[in-house]
Structure 1
Amino acid sequence: MRRSAKQSEKDAAQSARRIRKRRAPEKAADCLQYENMYEGGVCEVEPGLFSMTMAFTDVNFQLARQEDQNSLFAQYSEFLNYFDPDIHLQISLVTRRVDEAEFRRDTFLPMRGDVRDQYSEEMNRVISEKALQGQNGLIREKYITISIHEDTYHKAQIRLFKRAEDIQNMFKRMGSSMRVITGIERLNLLYGIAHPEEVMDFSYDWLLAENCLTTKEFIAPSGYNWKPEHDDSRAVYNDRYQFGEYYGKVLYLRDIAPQMKDNLLSLLSDLDFDNVISLHIDAMDQQKAIEMVETQLAYMQKEQGDGMSKAVRMHLPAFMGVRYELTNQIDGAKELIDSLRNYDQKIFKVCILIHTYGRSNAELDERVQQICNTVQQQTCRFSPIPFEQCAAMNSVLPLGKKGLSLERTLLTINTAIYIPFTTQELFQSGGLYEGINARSRNLIMVNRKLMPAPAGMVLGMTGFGKSFAVMQMMAGIMLRWPEDDLVVIDPENEYAHLVQAFGGEVIEISPSSKAHINPMDISEDYGDDDNPIRLKSEFLRDFCQLIFNREDLTPQERNTIDQATLLTYQKYLLHPEREQMPTLNDFYSNLLLQGADGKNLASALQMYVNGTMDLFAHQTNVDLQNHCICFNTVKLGKSMQSIGMMTVLDQIWNRITRNRVLGRRTWIFTDEFQLLLGNSACTNYYFELSSRARKWGAILTSITQHVRSVLNNEDARRMLSDCGYIKLLNQAPDDANDIARLLHISDEEKRYIENAEVGSGLLIADKVVVPFNNTFPQDTELFRLMDTNPNRKK
């Protein structure tokens, strides 16, 4: 009797679920066909069916080389073949309009109530004007949803996370990063589709208020009308629905051709209005698929035999009894069986849907017409789904369930044609404006603070906007992050006006200048967790090697410099006060105490201590505490440029170590970077500084027009390869070819740095490659500060 009672309860519960599923929805929340959305991101779509959604980043498929496209296509085909019949795959491409306040917060520079606000207003005006040229009010997101059948939530969670890990690894090999999104993020995604142009306000704590509340209550629109009235008659539509203030419609892709181009999803994603594209993909069991095709082939062969026999009985040639289409179908079935057995192909049931909306029926019809026109160039078309818009709407939502019987069977290779990768965008919230994407016309915003390898290089021929691009970056840093320190090495006197306008300090380093910088300056944090004197001794060895114009020092000379360095800093270490800081003169005196080797070294150093080039033999007498410093070395002359730049780099290292203790970022810009590559000591010191700087919170940017000097220097090539930020402006053809090989740039991408216009080129940031244009209004004060064109200056 107990068993009978339990069975009765179970039957009653199943009956209630069937009734609840079939009854007309009483409220908008009932129209959303899922049961529970858990905080961890797993959704119970229906009893026994659970799903998980992952967001993934785009890959530059359209700009990639042909061999890279083929490789990516093959990898994506492997990804599709990964799925078994017990896993449902849904790919969602969501284009939605971002909130205006959120867009301004992510792009505009803040106002701080000081004299710099005039520059922030100008930059914000430029960003606003450029935003109108593209689709910057729209964001494009890509998701994968997988769903499985399981008895309990906990079992489903374990299986889904295991599958998610496998998928993440596959996408990583394709160059795309992927992450599982949380329950709040999934609800926000659903809310954005159900409430266009609105921002969700929801917390899981709210569900504790009443037991009957579900997440659907908070994301559903005010109501659904599945038979909205015509605007001009009393008739009703059956191929669209009304939700809140909007009219929505779901279309499905029919007449899918086996041979298609791979840019269909790219064309649809470029539409300049809100839409959601959903691909539902179910794999068939391989053995059952082969048996199904063999059965169809057997029927067709029987029809062929019967037709041939009938023709012979009528005294006609046998082939006249067989339809031409039947012959092609038989050949196709044989090829299909061969593909399934020998060429790693599977059969998938594919359904492609697209959803859009309008504030009126007329606006909706206009958008639908644009969608249909977009796919006209392909041998397929979108068709309405009458009387099933509720099921279609739920099938579009990234829940992991298809509620429609519309589908087409395709092989792996035909399914992979609908590859979800198009063109990368580069928009990092709270970053700096870098121009607009030359392909999509969208804003490019870069936040190098978020990059794991923020060091950068700016390379370009003279006269094509290299210095302007760097100064625009510097201005953005001082306006976006005024608490950061900025230091620039300026061998050509190009940055002084900008630095002074922002309240910075310009320090002229030359034999005639009264400003002095002491290369012996040291701080207690100088040593990078090592002995600061040991590290300073390494600097002095490089400094001496540079002065002596030698490729290297002998071991004995190195030891002599070490001993002199220890003696030089003894007094300062006992009383570490600014007045006790030793100078090059003290180091020279201690070299004389080191015997014959010391005297030889001191003799070579004498000109820089007591002679005509003694500008570095004095105590530092300039203010190095300013947040923005420009070291102007234009009057040093070629013979002293490398020594001057190395001394400045050592001062910069002092600042980096100090700022690390203070928790402050340090931005370093080194113009005419090639000057450091003419001497191995300079190159080694800069390379070591670059390696240490990343760990110490500093961000280096190296700038040069002599690209060949970078490509011919092994250390410089390594630095270029390690940079997370690379801006390439116009390049000479040979340089462009060598850079393309080094950075694995495709031919399509390379054309953006050959014969490029001023201010245009290619930007590589955090492994994202985008072509850019950056024209800046000339009627602004910022332009006048950043412009280096001698004709306009005149």
Structure 2
Amino acid sequence: TESNRLTLRNIESMREELAEGKSRIIRYSSSYFIKGDGDELSGKKKALVKYLKKVGIKVEGKRFGDAKIRNRLISGNVNGIYLDPKSVSYLIPINHGYLFDENGAYYGRCDITGAPVFLDRSLLPSSHELVLGMTGFGKSYFVKSTMFREKVARGVELKIVDPLGEYGGVASNLGARSVDMMNMEMNMFEKVKFLTLKENVDRTLALLITLFNLGNEELGVLDSGITKMYEEDQSYEFLKDFVLSRSPQVYNKISPIFDGSFKKFCTGRNPEMSGDVRIDLSKVPKKILPFYMLLSLDLLMRSAGGKQTNLVIDEAHYLLQEDVVGSLERYVRHARHLGTSIILISQSANDFLKSRSSLSIMENCSIHVLFRHQAVTDEMINFYKLDDSLSGFLRNVAGFNGRYSKALLITPHLSTILRFESSEEERYIVDGIR
């Protein structure tokens, strides 16, 4: 043929060469794409199919909108699957709207087609992300690299809640300042402006619950005192007097916030957290890590609402405790209206399938990236509509293999096995490795 491009003229030439014995076909297949207004596409498609059949070319078209066909496709089992143009456009970056935006950050390649995946999360219905998988299979490195790429591509601010000290290197290389929460002064009782009065009361109670084992009667006293404090715009001293007058026993139980080691979190000023910030919690005892993580999230969200921001929370399972997860869910709901994308990292999707609040968090995340899972439960299979092939992929294949990583990427408009790898320069910036 006179060109590698498939045209009607080339098809005619190919047919003539075959008829004259000048060429022979061992095997031939091709995909076709039709451009035009929506109302015209159906007619154009029918005309093309009619012509192709006339010259002896078999044409089949099937959508893969249902989960069964989708799973076969992204698992690499493509035998007998034929795609119409709209379906094919899900796999080809330049043909499908905002998800594959060339102005977005490069996330890797579709492992099935080799197509590059560019992602501009700010254009998704909800820009939050879950990155889930076992320790040691590449999820932390994936987050570090993609956050670096988004910073370069989109200029976003980066905030990190770092319980294990995992993100110190990349934060330093990106010029982020590190904050030691254990030696800071702040005021956790100050109202968060974008929350309602009840939400502020619940937020404050959740912080106290992470520190003290409080029963219903004790919570009732604190609920009344905190509500009255906020209603009347009173100070921390008002709450102190209120609790002491109502129940000396409750006062004694939570006395560390009034007169002890946690008083510094109640009487200071809340610092501004603008720019790139990493909150280092690596020295915090695990027993009180939920308190410090929730307090960190609280502090960072107070500064939200300016520049587009990615807020990374590592070891997010610490915030999924029954009395704490409601606060996380609340911030996930509010963050999307403040230009903040929350990226939650945890060791298993099963961590989020245990309560209504954590399920709500999953449903409010448009981006799910699944690495290796030791257990793929029925709840996971039902939530993500996995078949046996994809369940096996998550148990046995997903993760880092020494050269690159593979993960199951699920978004509103694309589900595929993502192949992720880094350049030498990126590895140095992210992990300091040459």
Once residues 50 and 209 of structure 2 are traced to their aligned partners in structure 1, the CA distance between those partners, rounded to angstroms, is: 77
**2:415 counterpart residue number:** 769
What number of residue pairs does the alignment pair up? Answer: 382
TM-aligned CA distance change 1:519 to 1:621, over 3 Å: closer
Alignment of 1:608-619 (within 5 A): 608-619=257-268
Amino acid at match of 1:772: L
**2:285 counterpart residue number:** 637
1:491 aligns with one of 157, 163, 166:
163
Once residues 201 and 51 of structure 2 are traced to their aligned partners in structure 1, the CA distance between those partners, rounded to angstroms, is: 77
Structure 1 unmatched ranges of 5 or more = 1-239, 241-246, 249-272, 277-352, 379-396, 571-585
Deviates more, 1:723-732 or 1:753-762: 753-762
Instruction: Please say if residues 736 and 750 of structure 1, whose CA atoms lie closer than 8 Å, have aligned partners that are also in contact.
Output: no
Once residues 685 and 621 of structure 1 are traced to their aligned partners in structure 2, the CA distance between those partners, rounded to angstroms, is: 19
Query: Which of these two proteins has the greater Rg computed from alpha carbons?
Result: 1
Once residues 638 and 355 of structure 1 are traced to their aligned partners in structure 2, the CA distance between those partners, rounded to angstroms, is: 68
Structure 2 unmatched ranges of 5 or more = 31-42, 63-79, 94-99
Once residues 263 and 284 of structure 2 are traced to their aligned partners in structure 1, the CA distance between those partners, rounded to angstroms, is: 12
* 2:204 equivalent to 1:540: yes
SS in 2 for 1:716: helix
Once residues 536 and 755 of structure 1 are traced to their aligned partners in structure 2, the CA distance between those partners, rounded to angstroms, is: 44
**1:560 counterpart residue number:** 225
TM-aligned CA distance change 1:598 to 1:587, over 3 Å: farther
Alignment of 1:369-518 (within 5 A): 372-375=25-28, 398=44, 401=47, 407=53, 419-420=83-84, 421=87, 424-425=90-91, 427-482=100-155, 484-510=156-182, 513=183, 515-518=184-187
Amino acid at match of 2:259: N
**Identical aligned pairs, as a percentage?**
16
Alignment of 1:268-283 (within 5 A): 274-275=5-6
**2:68 counterpart residue number:** none
**1:254 counterpart residue number:** none
SS in 1 for 2:253: helix
Amino acid at match of 1:708: N
* 2:368 equivalent to 1:726: yes
Alignment of 1:82-97 (within 5 A): none
TM-aligned CA distance change 1:424 to 1:746, over 3 Å: farther
- The alpha-carbon deviation at position 708 of structure 1 amounts to 3.4
SS in 1 for 2:126: coil
Once residues 772 and 493 of structure 1 are traced to their aligned partners in structure 2, the CA distance between those partners, rounded to angstroms, is: 27
Instruction: Please say if residues 591 and 599 of structure 1, whose CA atoms lie closer than 8 Å, have aligned partners that are also in contact.
Output: no
Instruction: Please say if residues 270 and 299 of structure 2, whose CA atoms lie closer than 8 Å, have aligned partners that are also in contact.
Output: no
Alignment of 1:208-607 (within 5 A): 247=2, 274-275=5-6, 355=10, 372-375=25-28, 398=44, 401=47, 407=53, 419-420=83-84, 421=87, 424-425=90-91, 427-482=100-155, 484-510=156-182, 513=183, 515-522=184-191, 526-528=193-195, 530=196, 533-550=197-214, 554-567=219-232, 569-570=233-234, 586-593=235-242, 596-597=245-246, 599-607=248-256
Could you tell me the TM-score, scaled by structure 2's length?
0.75
Instruction: Please say if residues 459 and 703 of structure 1, whose CA atoms lie closer than 8 Å, have aligned partners that are also in contact.
Output: yes
Alignment of 1:740-751 (within 5 A): 740-751=381-392
Instruction: Please say if residues 432 and 476 of structure 1, whose CA atoms lie closer than 8 Å, have aligned partners that are also in contact.
Output: yes
SS in 2 for 1:693: helix
TM-aligned CA distance change 1:357 to 1:452, over 3 Å: farther
Instruction: Please say if residues 561 and 591 of structure 1, whose CA atoms lie closer than 8 Å, have aligned partners that are also in contact.
Output: no
**1:94 counterpart residue number:** none
SS in 1 for 2:290: helix
- The alpha-carbon deviation at position 489 of structure 1 amounts to 0.7
Once residues 113 and 128 of structure 2 are traced to their aligned partners in structure 1, the CA distance between those partners, rounded to angstroms, is: 27
TM-aligned CA distance change 1:750 to 1:428, over 3 Å: farther
SS in 2 for 1:373: coil
TM-aligned CA distance change 1:607 to 1:709, over 3 Å: same
- The alpha-carbon deviation at position 434 of structure 1 amounts to 1.3
Amino acid at match of 1:495: Y
- The alpha-carbon deviation at position 424 of structure 1 amounts to 4.0
**Superposed CA offset, 1:655-710 (max 9, x none):** 22xx2xx4x322211110000112x2310000111112223322111101144322
Once residues 324 and 420 of structure 2 are traced to their aligned partners in structure 1, the CA distance between those partners, rounded to angstroms, is: 33
Once residues 648 and 632 of structure 1 are traced to their aligned partners in structure 2, the CA distance between those partners, rounded to angstroms, is: 10
Once residues 415 and 698 of structure 1 are traced to their aligned partners in structure 2, the CA distance between those partners, rounded to angstroms, is: 41
Instruction: Please say if residues 642 and 676 of structure 1, whose CA atoms lie closer than 8 Å, have aligned partners that are also in contact.
Output: yes
Deviates more, 1:744-753 or 1:471-480: 744-753
- The alpha-carbon deviation at position 471 of structure 1 amounts to 0.6
Amino acid at match of 1:561: I
* 2:428 equivalent to 1:787: no
- The alpha-carbon deviation at position 566 of structure 1 amounts to 4.0
Instruction: Please say if residues 433 and 445 of structure 1, whose CA atoms lie closer than 8 Å, have aligned partners that are also in contact.
Output: yes
Instruction: Please say if residues 762 and 772 of structure 1, whose CA atoms lie closer than 8 Å, have aligned partners that are also in contact.
Output: yes
TM-aligned CA distance change 1:419 to 1:613, over 3 Å: closer
**2:308 counterpart residue number:** 665
Instruction: Please say if residues 763 and 769 of structure 1, whose CA atoms lie closer than 8 Å, have aligned partners that are also in contact.
Output: yes
SS in 2 for 1:761: strand
Instruction: Please say if residues 274 and 357 of structure 1, whose CA atoms lie closer than 8 Å, have aligned partners that are also in contact.
Output: no
TM-aligned CA distance change 1:566 to 1:357, over 3 Å: farther
Amino acid at match of 1:560: G
**2:406 counterpart residue number:** 760
Instruction: Please say if residues 170 and 431 of structure 2, whose CA atoms lie closer than 8 Å, have aligned partners that are also in contact.
Output: no
SS in 1 for 2:239: helix
CA RMSD of aligned residues (A): 3.8
SS in 2 for 1:735: coil
SS in 2 for 1:494: coil
Amino acid at match of 1:450: L
Amino acid at match of 1:469: F
Amino acid at match of 1:475: F
2:335 aligns with one of 693, 698, 702:
693
Could you tell me the TM-score, scaled by structure 1's length?
0.43
**Superposed CA offset, 1:325-353 (max 9, x none):** xxxxxxxxxxxxxxxxxxxxxxxxxxxx7
